[in-house]
Amino acid sequence: MIPHHRGAINMACAGLKGAANAESRKLAKETIKGDEKEIGKLIARVEEHAGRASRNETTSAAPKK
């Protein structure tokens, strides 16, 4: 999903450069802002999951008493 959102940002940036009216510029800016926020959420989830996985690997490898 991250590449999907980055693609949307790239397209919105290109659209912003060539926007002929205020409504188009507004939509492009909203798209950029929204997709940047979504990328941040996705990265946080990936990092959270990776941290959980590494903790599980560490604890599961510990000898049981």
Whole-model pTM: value is 0.75
* pLDDT (tens digit per residue) in 2-50: 999 999 999 999 999 999 999 999 999 999 999 999 999 999 999 999 9
Which single residue is written with the structure tokens 């798209």? Answer: 31
Within 10 A of 29 (CB to CB), how many other CB atoms are there? 15
| pLDDT for position 61 | 53
**Does residue 49 or residue 53 have the better pLDDT?**
49
For residues 45 and 42, give the distance between their C-alpha atoms in angstroms, rounded to a whole number.
Answer: 5
Exposure string of 11-27, with b = 16+ CB inside 10 Å and e = fewer, is ebeebbeebeeeeeeee
DSSP 3-state of 48: helix
The structural domain count of the chain equals 1
Distance of CA 2 to the CA centre of its chain: 5
- Residue 15: domain span: 2-61
